[in-house]
Amino acid sequence: MNMSHVKRLLGYAGRKKGLIVLSFIAAALYAVSTVLIPYFAGRAIDSLDRDYLVIIKFVVIIAICAGISSISSFVLMRVNNSLTYDVCEGLRNDMFAKVGKLRMATLDTTDPGKLQSLIINDCETVGDGMILFLNQFVSGFVTILVTMTIMFMIDYRIALFVLLCVPLTFFVSYIIAKKTFGSFKKQSEVRSDQTTYISETCENFTTLRSYNGFANRRDVFGKINEDYKKISIKAVFLSSITNPSTRFVNSVIYSGVALIGAMLCLGPSLTAGLLVSLLAYSNQFMKPFNDLSAVYTELTNTFACLSRMIELMDNKDVIPDEGDLVPLSEDAKEQGISIEFRDVTFSYVPGKPVLKNVSFTVPAGAKAAIVGPTGCGKTTLINLLMRFYEPDSGEILVNGRSISEIPRDSLRGLIGFVLQDTWIRNGSVMENIKFGHPDMSDEKAIKGAQVTGAASFIKRLPGQYQEKIDNRRSDISEGQKQLLAITRAMNSDPDVMILDEATSSVDVLTEVRIQKAVKELLAGRTGIIIAHRLSTIIDCDIIAVLDKGELAEIGTHEELLANNGFYSELYESYI
């Protein structure tokens, strides 16, 4: 148990101070009313040879205590459930927000399944542990305190005997819990692997079946599942032996109380009714220890998950605060956006540069193309321009200002970005077109779809613009999804348009329509196009040719062909 993690968790609970106070009051009422029942039951037994009215009085008191116990128990569970799920809500919100702050380099090397498991499964486990703890801890503590007080009032010798046996229960629980923590932590890690593997499989059924790869995936999943089974059996076994172990200790204590009490009953110091109360109290006194021991053991699973969650929330590889950075002025935008790459060097892996001293300028309003063989660094240049990554050296300037001096939100607000791999959110067609600009009017969204040609297939959908879609819809082609992505970018009315192989999944006729729409869109705007189809960039103002991470050539289509260099070779091989 890491106390710093406990404090972090209590910090979330501290936001609901009213619920905490109510939980303590309900727990105390439940414990006191429950503990008093055996005492009055013993008094009733000792009154059997007296007036029945006395017995009835004790029975009424017992009934009142039982009623208070039931009501307070109900209130306790409702309050603790509410408090726990408030805490879980805060934890999930903070983890989800943290994911949004992490650098792309961290996200690229983190399994999505691990993040899903942390935010959903591990948080649920922490919630279960909290409910168990809240329902047991305060009431258990009060029960122990009140029970021991009454036992000392009845007979201090039996009370001392029971008290001296308590460390044995804690010792047994501690030994088991110490072994359990590592198993539950390993279980949580394997569960993350399961989530990642299932998610990856479910998202790629078409590819798996095309290559007859499902059988192999099934075998690998079977191994992961077997590992999960083994570690779960070990963890659950270790946690489950706490209860029988502590119950054995309880039986020994109960037998000792019965023996000592029976001997004391032979004299005048203890009555039969009070012996019955003491026997009940010996069980009642140890029950909270059993419960708390079980809670402590189960909390090992909770803290194993909590430690992983806090590791995510404490990750320092985050996007730095940009509060002092000044956005581009509206006047600067009206003059057009120029982009300059100045001696840019970058490497994903230290010592293995993907880009080496790349320098070229895209004037305001110009249409530039970046071409080159696969892996030469074309998309990496765009990733650096979007500030998904930062250059190792050199800088990128927008209107003469380094992009490191411009807030990321302001910079990205200038740019319409269409990727080769299309992402469609789960929602309606209209919501996808308006993504990033939810206040856009329906009329503007529909007009954009008409310009790009997306309207032609949208009208054939049963719900048209209100049709619910997602990436898994097989009746919507990749080309149609890409049309939606282009419409989404165009409707944002960007100052700069970037197309990264944006027409790779569309047919020739659709490509011609998109090219016409893009040409209209780029009028007066700066454009950057990454393309393997060299026919689509012939009329660009600038063509930057990359080879092995370096700028091999730059110029217009005609100039580059006249140079008879690397671009000429690419073009000859293309045609």
Q: Which domains does the chain have, with CATH numbers?
A: 11-313 (1.20.1560.10), 330-574 (3.40.50.300)
Q: What is the pLDDT of residue 345?
A: 93
What are the DSSP calls for 253-280, one per residue? Answer: HHHHHHHHHHHHHTSTT--HHHHHHHHH
Model confidence at 474, in pLDDT bands (50, 70, 90)? low
Q: What percent of the chain has pLDDT over 70?
A: 86
Place of tokens 């060299």: 534
- At residue 561, the 3 state secondary structure works out as helix
Q: What is the pLDDT of residue 213?
A: 67
Q: What is d(CA 367, CA 529) in angstroms, rounded to the nearest whole number? A: 8
Between strands 496-500 and 415-418, the pairing is parallel
Average of per-residue pLDDT values in the chain: 80
| Half-sphere exposure of residue 368: CA atoms within 13 angstroms, side-chain side | 24
Give pLDDT tens digits for 255-280. Answer: 887 888 888 887 777 788 878 888 88
Give pLDDT tens digits for 212-243. Answer: 666 777 788 888 888 888 888 887 777 777 66
Is the pLDDT at 453 greater than 70? The verdict is yes
Give pLDDT tens digits for 110-145. Answer: 777 778 878 888 888 888 888 888 887 777 778 888
- Highest mean pLDDT among 91-95, 245-249, 537-541 belongs to 91-95
Q: What is the pLDDT of residue 407?
A: 85
Q: What is d(CA 73, CA 64) in angstroms, rounded to the nearest whole number? A: 14
Q: What is d(CA 522, CA 501) in angstroms, rounded to the nearest whole number? A: 16
Model confidence at 348, in pLDDT bands (50, 70, 90)? confident
Q: What is the pLDDT of residue 63?
A: 93
Q: What percent of the chain has pLDDT over 90?
A: 5
Place of tokens 């044995």: 168
Is the pLDDT at 426 greater than 60? The verdict is yes
Is the pLDDT at 396 greater than 80? The verdict is yes
Give pLDDT tens digits for 293-342. Answer: 666 666 777 887 888 888 888 888 777 766 677 777 666 667 778 899 99
Q: What is d(CA 95, CA 83) in angstroms, rounded to the nearest whole number? A: 19
Is residue 27 within 8 A of residue 133, CB to CB? The reply is no
Q: What is the pLDDT of residue 204?
A: 67
Is the pLDDT at 575 greater than 70? The verdict is no
Q: What is the pLDDT of residue 513?
A: 66
Q: Where are the alpha helices (DSSP H) in 203-320?
A: 205-210, 214-240, 242-265, 272-313
Q: What is the pLDDT of residue 508?
A: 67
Q: What is the pLDDT of residue 144?
A: 82
Place of tokens 């073009």: 571
Question: φ, ψ for residue 499 (rounded to 5)?
Answer: -120, 110
Q: What is d(CA 85, CA 128) in angstroms, rounded to the nearest whole number? A: 10
Q: What is the mean pLDDT of residues 422-430?
A: 80
| Model pTM score | 0.66
pLDDT top residue among 98 and 287? 98
Q: What is the pLDDT of residue 148?
A: 84
Q: What is the pLDDT of residue 67?
A: 93
Is the pLDDT at 368 greater than 80? The verdict is yes
